[in-house]
């Protein structure tokens, strides 16, 4: 019985080692792109989708979709609750920083098609002018300028 356990454990260890080595080799060949600065985001948004290999293809769109879906102050019109539910949130929800964004979002986008417009606004920026800004700071600036919610 001990012999079977040792053989099974060695097989699992060798399989795990192979998977880890394959993962490291894949990372070494095409290291993951990170959008840390505003200029990197501008360059990625200027790239047409599907060009320059798999690593840059859709990097801007993926960043924007993730940011817009995860940011608590971004609201999409097709996801907005009914007027009744909005009134309930304003009048009956407790006053707490986490519920403030649920009561009324700061940025209003019409739908996911607006993501392409945000992408175009970012691509129109000069990379040198936003080199010292973070990618998220640049997106927030575009949202504040172009997509504020009506009061």
Span 86-99, pLDDT tens digits: 677 777 767 666 65
The answer to whether 74 and 109 have CB atoms below 8 angstroms apart is yes
Say yes or no: 6 and 23 in one domain. Answer: yes
pTM above 0.85, yes or no: no
pLDDT > 90 in the chain, percent: 17
pLDDT in tens, 98-143: 655 555 668 888 777 788 899 999 999 999 999 899 999 999 999 9
Note whether 84 and 13 are same-domain residues: no
Q: Is 52 exposed, middle or buried (0-12, 13-18, 19+ CB in 10 A)?
A: exposed
Is position 151 within any domain?
Answer: no
Statement to judge: residues 49 and 116 lie in one domain: yes
Looking at the structure, do residues 15 and 69 belong to the same domain, yes or no? no
- Please write the tens of the pLDDT for every residue from 38-61: 899 999 998 876 655 556 658 888
**121 and 47 inside one domain:** yes
Do 12 and 64 fall into the same domain? no
| Short-list 139, 72, 77, CA closest to 110 | 77
pLDDT given at position 81? 63
Q: Which domain holds residue 15?
A: 1-31
Q: Say if residue 24 is in the same domain as residue 86.
A: no
Q: Is the pLDDT of residue 15 over 50?
A: no
Q: Read off the DSSP letter of residue 71.
A: -
Q: How many structural domains does the chain have?
A: 2
- Quote the strand ranges of 91-141, DSSP E: 107-109
Same domain, yes or no, for 53 and 116?
yes
């Amino acid at each position: 019985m001990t012999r079977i356990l040792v053989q099974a454990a060695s097989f699992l260890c060798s399989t795990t080692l192979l998977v880890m080595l394959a993962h490291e080799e894949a990372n070494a060949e095409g290291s993951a792109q990170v959008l840390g600065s505003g200029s990197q985001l501008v360059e990625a948004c200027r790239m047409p989708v599907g060009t320059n290999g798999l690593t840059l293809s859709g990097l801007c769109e993926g960043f924007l979709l993730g940011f817009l879906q995860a940011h608590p102050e971004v609201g999409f019109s097709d996801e907005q609750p009914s007027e009744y539910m909005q009134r309930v949130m304003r009048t009956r929800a407790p006053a707490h920083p986490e519920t403030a964004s649920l009561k009324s979002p700061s940025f209003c986008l019409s739908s996911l098609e607006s993501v392409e417009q945000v992408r175009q606004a970012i691509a129109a920026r000069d990379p040198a002018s936003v080199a010292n800004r973070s990618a998220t700071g640049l997106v927030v600036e575009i949202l504040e300028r172009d997509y504020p919610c009506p009061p």
